[in-house]
Amino acid sequence: MDPPIQRTISTEGKGIAELAEAIARHVAHLTHSGGWAIRERARLEVELDALIQETLVSRFREQVSQSQYEDALTKMIQRKMSPWEAVKLLMNGG
């Protein structure tokens, strides 16, 4: 359910109370329909995945030397190695 467009004129204070009421009705609808929980779960899943990725990349970078990383990147730039080959090389200890 898409909420209706609520016209306001903020400089004149018009429509603000009606907007607040419309927002409250929409929140109530999402809460009662389960939509709020679905959206919250999706948001938290994205946040968790981002934190996992950040942590894994940090751990990876601690284990792979900068020279190994640069060597793989150079080989990719020179088209001597595909990105997937570089990942496999770096993940297996260079």
Residue 86 near residue 73 (C-beta atoms within 8 A): yes
pLDDT at 3: 64
Helices (H), the chain: 16-33, 35-63, 66-77, 83-91
Reading the block at residue 14, the tokens are: 């018009």
Per-residue pLDDT tens listing for the chain (94 residues): 576 788 999 899 899 999 999 899 989 999 999 999 999 999 999 999 999 999 999 999 999 999 999 999 999 999 999 999 999 999 987 6
The DSSP secondary-structure symbol of 75 reads H
pLDDT at 94: 61
- C-alpha dist (Å) from residue 71 to 8, 33, 85: 58, 54, 12
Amino acid at 7: R
pTM over 0.75: no
